Structures are given as C-alpha cells and as structure tokens.
Amino acid sequence: MGGGMISKLFCLALIFLSSSGLAEKNTYTAKDILQNLELNTFGNSLSHGIYGKQTTFKQTEFTNIKSNTKKHIALINKDNSWMISLKILGIKRDEYTVCFEDFSLIRPPTYVAIHPLLIKKVKSGNFIVVKEIKKSIPGCTVYYH
C-alpha cells in the first residue's frame, strides 16, 4: 500500500472519529435531561408550586437517585414520599421523546401521572418540554390518578 493510500485512510479515520465524537456530545443521558429539565414547561406535581420560571429538577428536593441508567433515571425526594422518573424512548435530531412518571410513594398512592413528552435542549443549557403528548405511545401508557 502506497503512502498516498495510507494518508487517505488516515484522513478518513480522522473524519469518522471526529464526526462520531460530535454525535456523542449531543446525546444526553436520562440523568442529564431530568436534572436539567425546567419543571414549569409542562404539567407535573411541582409546576404549580413555589418554584421560579427556569427552575430545574436538580434545584428541587428530588436529590436521592433510586435508579440510574443511560436511558432511565428515578429520583426520590428527601422524605421518601415522592418519586419522579424519566425514560428515554427515542431521539430524533435534537428532540427526545421520553416517558415522564410522577407519583406519590405513600400507599395507596394519592397521585400518579404518567405521560410522554417531547423535550429539547435550549441555549441556557436546560431542557424544556416542547410538546406534551396526550396519548399513549409505545413504551409509555398515559395514566392519571
């Protein structure tokens, strides 16, 4: 193999590695999304409370991580009475389709809300809900109690 061929292969390898690196930088985990999700951009148990406009879930009492994988996270509040979770169902361009669960841990549950959301990252670095999906989709069955 000549020197020109090696140079071309090296350039192709660099292009591939740099483009795959860019793609990875734009892929966020469930933890990244939930902790930086502005809670007042959609209906949930905290959105009508004391929190300001750009408050994210990491700024609330939901600090205990119950479960954490790349595509799913569950957070519990400080007194272990409430849980929120987010599961990534799909990614299209810069928008994430997720299933958001919000429920009391008191038995029997006093509140349960499960619904799909369309989320994207904004210039502030936070995530916002761009659409509350009103019907069940694969991986997320709408439920309110």
Identify whether 103 is part of a domain. Answer: yes
Report yes or no on 43 lying in a domain: yes
Does residue 11 belong to any structural domain of this protein?
no
Q: Is position 46 within any domain? A: yes
> Residue 108: what pLDDT?
84
pLDDT reported for residue 24: 40
Q: Where are the alpha helices (DSSP H) in 69-145?
A: none
CA atoms within 13 A on the CB side of 93: 4
Mean pLDDT of successive 10-residue stretches along the chain, which has 145 residues: 50 38 65 95 85 87 91 95 97 96 90 96 97 97 93
Domain limits at 117? Answer: 28-144
Q: pLDDT at position 50, please?
A: 78
4 domain-assigned: no
Alpha-carbon distance of 132 to 41, in angstroms, equals: 9
And the tokens for 99? 């299933």
pLDDT of residue 21: 38
Q: Per the domain annotation, does 6 fall within a domain?
A: no
In a domain, 88, yes or no: yes
Our count of domains for the chain comes to: 1
The answer to the question of residue 15 being in a domain is no
